[in-house]
Amino acid sequence: MKTISVIGSGYVGVTTAAIAANAGFRVHLIDISEDRITVLKSGKSFFYEEGINPLIKLAVDSGNLLPSTSYEPGIAESDIVFSCVGTPDNPDGSSNLEYVFSAGKTAAPLLKDGAIYVQKSTVPVGTGAEVATLLPDHVAYVSNPEFLKEGTAVSNTLYFDRIVVGGKDATAVEAVMQLYKTIEKNRASIAQKAGLNTPEKAGEYIATNLESAELIKVTSNAFLALKISFANSIAKLADESGADVVDVMNAVGADKRIGSAFFNAGRGYGGGCFPKDVSGLIASASDHGVDMPIMVAATDVNDSMPGYIANKAQKYLGGILHDKKVCVLGLAFKAGTSDARRSPGVNLANILDKAGANVQAYDPHANKEAKEELRASIVLHETAEEACQECEAVFIATEWPEFKDINFKALKQNMQGDLLFDGINLLAPSDIKHVGLHYMAVGRENL
């Protein structure tokens, strides 16, 4: 049985460790947070992610998954060490690599001969060459960026689009590829253990050099962010011209050269990846003497969307938000996760509160994580019905399925006003109009 270590117990680290352990590897999962490790040792995750808890419990119970706050003895025993530590952005938008370098320095003296050190954290191009200088000569360094999406992290890891591995040592690159091929051979049974019903798909294995692997990840996320901001720019034009942005982007996306993914107009993107990856790419390009005005513009458009929604609603509410009781449904940055980092829903709630509105809020899984980011006067509720009670306006800010299934007739009866603002273009306007609610959205006709 091969032994591996995973440094960092965020979304990437926990998912990687749990899946590898269920594929037959002995996995040391290392994090400096005693609280996180305590929860993981109990056989569950400290964050919400579909399918992850059964895999953690099975792996911990079997002894294949060993959560620890210590680098010893895990690193010394491991053939492959994955670095999955956080890379938050600095105030200037550049990537904070403190944890990346710290993990490398701490692991270096413990790494055994022939070990492979794998960087899964998203880092600026050129970082790997610096980290490699911290490691012993007998250790190979490779970049293996992750492409999982929060909310579908387990299925994305098992049924991947591509596995990218880059490095100078071809033998090390192939060894990391073989680890994923072992997971692929076992993925049907792992998916069953996780309670997921994901259709089989063929993924691609891509071997490249170190710098290309690093740049692939941030380029991918930046392009997806660009698509969202482009759709929102068109949505603003649709608002002024009478077009329907949903119809427009569906038709544009039908062109196979373009594709329809990430063309949903609305409150913009958020989370722990897109915002920092875009700002990190801009900063990295600047370090290399390259300007990226197109990505600067994408960021500006994205940052404008929560305020744009609040302004549209304010006009309908008589030009003022002060003392208006309103509700924001959805605080996670996307459905399927409890992650509220840089959530547009949180941003919208704070904008409304700052304007003097009496803001109520609810999320099925992210209330706890969002609380630290919300202004103190915002009131969190345990159900959508409770949060919407006697409100003059309700804003849907996350695409949770339960928001699509709301009894809108009952909602109207429990509200003081009639404004339903669909901040993610989740609903069919005709389904709302007939119950007496006034439907508003981004880039669509108001009904």
Q: How far apart are CA 360 and CA 371, in angstroms?
A: 12
Question: Peptide bond preceding 124: is omega within 30 degrees of 0, i.e. cis?
Answer: no
Q: In what order do the strands lie in the sheet with 3-7?
A: 65-68, 26-30, 3-7, 80-83, 116-119, 140-143, 162-167, 204-208
Q: Of how many residues is the chain composed?
A: 447
- Asked whether 175 and 116 are in contact (CB, 8 A), the reply is yes
Short-list 26, 246, 11, CA closest to 152: 11
- Asked whether 190 and 232 are in contact (CB, 8 A), the reply is no
Rg, Å, the chain Cα set: 23
Rounded to the nearest 10°, the torsion over CA 59, 62, 63, 66 is 20
273 is catalytic: yes
- Asked whether 324 and 317 are in contact (CB, 8 A), the reply is yes
Tokens of 280: 């990190």
In the set 273, 327, 388, 391, the catalytic residue is: 273
Number of other CB atoms surrounding residue 123 within 10 Å: 23
Q: Give me the active site residues, please.
A: 273
